[in-house]
Amino acid sequence: MWGLFFLLILLIPLVAVILDSQLGRALARRIEGGAPDNARLSRLENEVDRLAAEVERLREQAEFTTRLLEERAREEGLPPGEDRG
């Protein structure tokens, strides 16, 4: 009997913390039948697209820089991967 009592005392704060968290709020919105915020979702999709374009641009810049460094090393007669230092 006392074990059950102590278990309930320990579970009450745990449940309160979970329900007050972001996860608890999301579950509550889903239970209430709330639809996701379309404007927010649209902004997130736009941001993901922008970031993808930026990553692609950075990849192209890195490839270009690598090609330039390889050409420079060949012109100076250094074996690939060796430093001039």
Contacts of 70 by beta carbon, 8 Å cutoff, 6+ apart: 80
Q: Check residues 55 and 3 and name the one with the higher pLDDT.
A: 55
Q: Which of 8, 4, 29 is nearest to 19 (CA)?
A: 29
Q: What is the pLDDT of residue 50?
A: 95
In contact, 26 and 34? CB cutoff 8 Å: no
Q: What is the pLDDT of residue 60?
A: 96
Please write the tens of the pLDDT for every residue from 29-77: 778 776 667 788 888 899 999 999 999 999 999 999 999 999 988 888 7
pTM over 0.75: no
